[in-house]
Chain A
């Protein structure tokens, strides 16, 4: 056994809170999108011709969700008993939460893309 430094996904604690990280990022992005559109339309009467703020927010949200998914993907593969991970052991509990987080990251990623799509097609405040 080498004495290497544990990797990021090994150091991060898995809890019920980590499960909701990806959908919380979706919620944050959604709220941001809604406020961005509502405030720019109400106060400026339009959104900027190139909505860089929106693009930046969306890219950040997607990257963070992908990161959460990447961590979860590795954590779901920590060695242990064979699937279906339904024993009362610490590693099965960990892999279960990690797998659920991974699935939620997938859903959140798609949902952020859904939210971002309208900006490709709609350009004004009508």
Chain B
């Protein structure tokens, strides 16, 4: 079709009908939950995270009621422990992180002019995992079984089964399950930003929100896996009595603190940056000009992301580490103030240079910056180690972190709520209620948390369920409690505003007169995302490109039709967004939900020590995943290319480094490799902490022989897989199949040899941290080898079924990426376990 053809209104109507039919949501009481389109999944995700926020907020109100007066007996100490643990854990894992993913899934395709993100079913899987895990964790409080060891779950309190009950397992396994959904979202969002931009949207034209999402999703890949590694060690200790954190048997509780905070500190920026990203969208809109200093924002986002990984020990200033180590982290903690401040100054400069409209979202933005800056300043204080020694574990820290999180995460989300509500629902929220809510929130937050600075400095420790009247902090605490209820009233007004929304009239499209792509959406009626995928020439195309909205709506850009009745979007190149291919997207399906339920079984049954049922769930999960892949991915198209308009023909199949699937595998394996490095860190950490590591009795276990056999077989499997890929590409299908079979054998043999090392040398993992960590590394690597064998088997089966050919070879290319990482894991593990004891 050409520009000319789109002049025909009949053609346009026919195209619209086809698009509408293809993108229609499934109807019906049950079927509608099979939806995978981002407008449905994103909305469920957002609402669920909002619901968990309200739940965790109520827990906070219960705490503040208990603390309103000295020596109160509103709740017992045990209940109070559950309240603060669940409040912190829920706000972090069930609200702040999922809310970022939810909002990104909702907005990102619109911002990028894509019909949807590349893996809609993966988003749905992430959502169902989140819902299931979230209900499991939060529901525990109704059975008096909630975790009660603080949101960072320090051992030995939490690993000793005589000191903490089921709650610790619920925390560890329930939240591990949710971490799976976070990594899934990270994969989806990174590939979305890099590969699904509209033609012409080069990196320098990307909306700043997309830059932030890219940065934050990459941070998730490096931040969450160390916690997953920590969770593995933690549950090994609780369920199997392997002494990783037990100092009496060569373990060290500090290892947990390291692994937790390598996650925990970047986490703060993972929840802060996406909220600030909302400012980067709304500040230019209401300043009525382009954002000033675009590269400076990129500097701020990327710089913060890197520096945030050098801060984790500032949570451990009082653990007795050498001062020189503390000083390094103190220095990095001060340095991170630079990029954080840069972005705030960019927003101020943009407002200064523009003509500001003081809308409700802007009011929230300004108010949250004020609160955030106070939190940032106390952050600079506690980053100084000697000050932190005084303030550590007091209410001063509670005040600091709430100022940062309310100013840096929660209030910006409310700004985003008021800004984007018309985009999602087609209706604006009430300015009057919004402003009333703002002032209640602003006053409430300051009244709650400002007095905590003083009560902390007066000596009130965190996590106490009551305090004596003689301390002289009752007035401060009463003020905090009153403030908490004022803040809650503000949230209630926002809920009321949302509840009234369905009764309000529809607003105009793009009611704020914004310049970015997401405002092309037709809320309420159209699910296709965008009528035609535009050619982008500016950062603010609606403002700058003449007749832009009309051209998009009349289908004058790319892919204005769905002739084959398939959901499609355009894949472009990473740097310059040159169109590369059209990909077919996943359609509504039960598979994501069923897979999430099966995987949930693994975690939930393990919590209750029902290992056989957990095993059954694990096998079911594997079967579901294979079924999902077999029926829904790497489909061979009915023809090679299709026209997308303007005389451009794009291929319908991609494999290798240009394809989204390859990137998804690569990104997933980056996360996997990071988790593995957490375990390796554990091994060498024990070595630095002990005079004799390995202990004398085990100086020659697991020996050199078996690890070296496993290493050689692992490398062989890798070489066979690469050769199979090349043979297949050259058309020697039979050779490729034979090589794949050999590679499967080599993988399985490598795993078996890896486990044979500790097995034959009689290493008892309960006796000491050394055999425990050697076993863990060996089992981790053997399990990965087994998964590698399954993947190779999958590629072999696809080849035999005629679904993978020399021309259409995505499966084997993606499996080879896995094999690269498997080879790396194998070499590091067996060189460590086999050779390090000999040289140390």
Contact = CB atoms under 8 A, between A and B. Distances in A.
Interface of B: 194, 200-205, 290, 294-296, 298-299, 302-303, 305-307, 309-310, 322-325, 327-328, 330-332, 334-335, 338-339, 536-539, 574-576, 688-689
Q: What class of interface size applies to chain A in its complex with B?
A: 35 or more
A107 B303 contact: yes
B542 to A, nearest CB: 15
Contact of B325 (A19, A26, A38, A110): A38
A114 B332 contact: yes
A122 B200 contact: no
Contact of B576 (A90, A95, A103): A90
Interface stretch (A4-12, A39-47, A63-71): A39-47
A42 B690 CA distance: 8
13 contacts: A27-B306, A27-B310, A41-B324, A87-B538, A90-B202, A93-B575, A100-B298, A104-B302, A115-B310, A118-B327, A122-B323, A125-B323, A125-B324
A110 B332 CA distance: 10
A77 interface: no
Contacts of B310: 26-27, 30, 115
A125 to B, nearest CB: 5
A23 B203 contact: no
A56 interface: no
A41 B331 contact: no
Interface string A95-126: 11101100110011011001101110110011
Contacts of B689: 42
Contacts of A93: 202-204, 575-576
Contact of B537 (A87, A97, A99): A87
B332 A115 contact: yes
B295 A96 contact: yes
Nearest to B334: A114
Nearest to A87: B537
Contacts of B338: 107, 110-111
Contacts of B537: 87-88
A59 interface: no
3 A-B pairs with least C-beta separation: A118-B327, A96-B204, A23-B306
B341 to A, nearest CB: 11
Q: Name, among A26, A90, A103, the residue most crowded by chain B CB atoms within 10 Å (CB to CB).
A: A103
B324 A97 contact: no
Contact of B294 (A20, A39, A84, A104): A84
B299 A100 contact: yes
A119 B309 CA distance: 20
B339 A99 contact: no
Contact of A96 (B203, B290, B323, B688): B203
Interface string A24-56: 101100100110011101110001000000000
A125 B203 contact: no
Contact of A111 (B295, B305, B335): B335
A42 B840 CA distance: 14
Contacts of B202: 88, 90, 92-93
Interface centre among A24, A96, A119, by most chain B C-beta atoms within 10 angstroms, is A96
A86 B204 contact: yes
B538 A86 contact: yes
Contacts of B205: 86, 88
A96 B295 CA distance: 7
Nearest to B536: A88
A101 to B, nearest CB: 9
A95 B194 CA distance: 19
Contact of A42 (B294, B323, B688): B688
